[in-house]
Amino acid sequence: MGNYFSDLGPDFKKRTIKLQDIPGYQYSGTLADEYRKKHLSKAEIAELLESMLVIREFEEMILKCRTGAYEIISDYDYRGPTHLSIGQEATAVGACSLLNVADMITSTHRGHGDSIAKGFHAIKHMSEAELKTRCPEFAALSGSQLQEAVLEDHMFRTIAELFGKEAGYGKGRGGGMHIADFRVGHLGANAIVGGGVPISTGAAMSCRIDADMKGQVVCCFAGDGAYSNGVVLESLNWAAQDQFTGPIAETQYGLPVIYCIINNHFGMTGRADGEVNGIDYMARRAAGFDNENMHAEVVNGMDVLAVRDAIARAKKICLDGKGPVLLEFDTYRYYGHSLSDPRNEYRTRDEEARWKEVDPVDTFKKRILDANIMNAAEVAEIETRVAARNARAARRAADAADPDPADVIKYMYTDTACDTVPEKYRQVKVEGELPKVKRDAEGRINYRDAIKEGIMEEMLRDRRVVLYGEDVAEYGNAFKLTKGLLEAFGRDRVFNAPISEACICGTAVGMAMTGYRPIVELMYMDFALMASDQISNQAAKWHYMTGASTTVPLVVRCSVGGGKGYGGQHSQSLESIFAHIPGTYVAYPSNPYDAKGLIKTAIRDNNPVVFVEGQLLYNVKGVVPEEDYLVPFGQANVIREGSDVTLVVWGPAVNDALKAADILAEEGISAEVIDPRTLVPFDWDTVFASVRKTGRCVAISQCVDIGSFTSEIVARIMAECFDYLDAPVLKVGAKNGIAPQAVTLEKAFLPKPEDMVAAAKQLL
């Protein structure tokens, strides 16, 4: 790979750095011209109108449901999200009408319209075979009857999800703010403002490097409020990286993602323009990330044809390998943030009236009639069909079964793993010499090399395994753990990331959702707090919120630096935080053998895994087989058997606990030492069996004592083993403070073998 920066040097000549212009409102066509020039057929125009009407009808239904005015389900007590996008139909329809079934979208809490449009246009362009595959219950139908039945099913499943029904797209687990349909490339609406932007960026990364996905684009819908959010701006920077298209890029192909800013001029109530921003157009954001302004443009978002024109050009840019593209759609929502928001405190009726004069649905109908493309009766027939279809779907959804309360946490995890790699991903190209992991005469390697060897073996096994993070490429990461992997596997599979922890994890979610198996590194576990939304609200939740429609197989590697004098922001053991987040697995190996076996298991597992590495363990040696092996999750390791007291301990504290056991043995006390290896899933059976034998237990970790997972161990043992206990269950952990830098203070801060001995003796 070489040192490609060797020719760079200082150049301080006086100059003016100019920014390129951003075009705005470029479309000047008319519907009559588009029809006359045969750019759009009558059927295509009817499809655009129907799609906008479907969205408008659906959202007006929500509005009416709140007051019981939607007559066909006036008996149904609707409760759920009410973030309407009435007025924004042209953006959803204009964009989705030009996307292929395999093209992908991410959306927002106000994303009903995006979801409906993506499904509607996909269904409209499916073959009969594809329609029957999607809805096999309609196998006896054909032609327009089949298509109409599938469209109605689309509306039924949309409304059913809104109503929290088992028949909904997410089986009622996600609701309208998290609706997704992976069968048509809808990767999910997101209730976290901006939360879907890094996911769409990651999905585009999959499209960039996977030959079978070339030709696909990702359309990312997010509102103007999102574009002041940190992870969104990180995503723009991520997508525009020179290493994707510059001289060092292995694949000269930019990310095929279109960032669609749906600028309806309000975040919740705050105005993007004139109040919470200092720019006149959100499209200016692009100038900070790309010399080409990310091909940015401001578009009339109230005109479905203007939206289509911009999306068509953006798609071409992306498919030519010159993405990403940023488009700002200037539109408006007629209602407040939610139906509890009367909106009269921050805008006027006159303002709303002026926007309604260019209403996307009414304006398009008028243009159709004025151009004599359809007559009033034909337009009315579409309106009637849409209303009747929605009413039937709504009634069916209201009557549909609610999820069984017994299944309240069903789909929290998947029990699947990648046991067999698909044939096309087994063909792994090795770019250069594989790094050698040298064993000593006893067959030992250190903990760091054990993790490296495990990663390397999985990258050789499965081309979908990619590795990225801060400084993992030429430098080999801060601890040299990844040294040589770039040279072996190339920059498409191993590359440096910007210092953007949230985006590192968010893009991994997008890659995982689209079939890849990313390993991402955060360097220090402290930095996981920067990424906690993408780990905890995104990676952890999508399998559940979609009713198991997707899996998120990713590994977040983060090292813990406690005991090295690195102070309060580089020393925290935060595994307990992520053990508290349902949907994530948490692994923490204490020795080289487990390190290799657990990292391989983590990479193959179809759940997101927070993989914690103790920096104090990196140089610890142990016997590690060269051949392939896995250490199963949820199986504790009884490192030392004993009869008087059980020590449950993980991470670097395991070695201290073994020292404590030696000290106790000298005093005639037999300690059993159990390393759970994974906190989630946790091997309760092994721990309970040990405690029932010894009658005493101390739970130990290097986490700050308050709120530590050791408390969960204490609680569960007290509940499950109370009758067997001869003494209370105790905890040993770090002091309830901030990790200090001074060596004397840090020694006092972290638990020592003597602390563990004292706790055990207290029980005796």
Tokens of 591: 């020795």
Confidence at residue 447, expressed as pLDDT on a 0 to 100 scale: 98
Distance, CA of 741 to CA of 413 (rounded, Å): 39
Helix (H, G, I), strand (E, B) or coil at 634: coil
Higher pLDDT, 8 or 71: 71
Confidence at residue 6, expressed as pLDDT on a 0 to 100 scale: 57
pLDDT tens profile 231-261: 999 999 999 999 999 889 888 999 999 999 9
> Does 423-623 match 31-400 at the fold level?
yes
Tokens of 755: 């602390």
Confidence at residue 251, expressed as pLDDT on a 0 to 100 scale: 87
Distance, CA of 521 to CA of 223 (rounded, Å): 29
Give me the chain's average pLDDT, please.
Answer: 96
Confidence at residue 2, expressed as pLDDT on a 0 to 100 scale: 42
Confidence at residue 673, expressed as pLDDT on a 0 to 100 scale: 98
Residue 345, CA atoms < 13 Å, CB-side half-sphere: 8
Distance of CA 714 to the CA centre of its chain: 33
- Looking at domain 637-763, its CATH class is alpha beta
On the question of pLDDT at 140 being above 60, the answer is: yes
Q: List all residues 6 or more positions away from 660 whose beta carbon is below 8 Å from its beta carbon.
A: 647, 671, 753, 754, 756, 757, 760
Distance, CA of 11 to CA of 2 (rounded, Å): 23
pLDDT tens profile 57-95: 999 999 999 888 999 999 999 887 789 999 999 999 999
CA angle, residues 449, 453, 456, in degrees to nearest 5:
135
Query: What is the four-CA torsion angle of 90, 94, 100, 105, rounded to 10 degrees?
Result: -50
pLDDT tens profile 299-318: 999 999 999 999 999 999 99
Domain residues of the chain, as ranges? 31-400, 423-623, 637-763
Q: How much is the average pLDDT of 705-711? A: 96
Distance of CA 306 to the CA centre of its chain: 31
Bridge partner residues of 640 (DSSP): 673
User: How many other CB atoms are there within 10 angstroms of residue 410's CB atom?
Assistant: 14
pTM of the model: 0.96
Architecture of the domain made up of 31-400:
3-Layer(aba) Sandwich (3.40)
CB 418 within 8 A of CB 553: yes
In the chain, pLDDT over 70 holds for what percent of residues?
99
Q: List all residues 6 or more positions away from 571 whose beta carbon is below 8 Å from its beta carbon.
A: 526, 560, 561, 562, 563, 564, 739, 746
On the question of pLDDT at 618 being above 50, the answer is: yes
Superfamily classification of domain 423-623: Thiamin diphosphate (ThDP)-binding fold, Pyr/PP domains (3.40.50.970)
Confidence at residue 4, expressed as pLDDT on a 0 to 100 scale: 56
pLDDT-derived band at 344, boundaries 50, 70, 90: confident
pLDDT-derived band at 5, boundaries 50, 70, 90: low
pLDDT tens profile 564-593: 888 899 999 999 999 999 999 999 999 999
Confidence at residue 341, expressed as pLDDT on a 0 to 100 scale: 86
pLDDT tens profile 265-304: 998 888 888 899 999 999 999 999 999 999 999 999 999 9
On the question of pLDDT at 8 being above 80, the answer is: no
pLDDT tens profile 144-193: 999 999 999 999 999 999 999 999 999 999 999 999 999 999 999 999 99
Hey, which residues are catalytic here? 501, 570
On the question of pLDDT at 1 being above 50, the answer is: no
Residues in the chain: 764
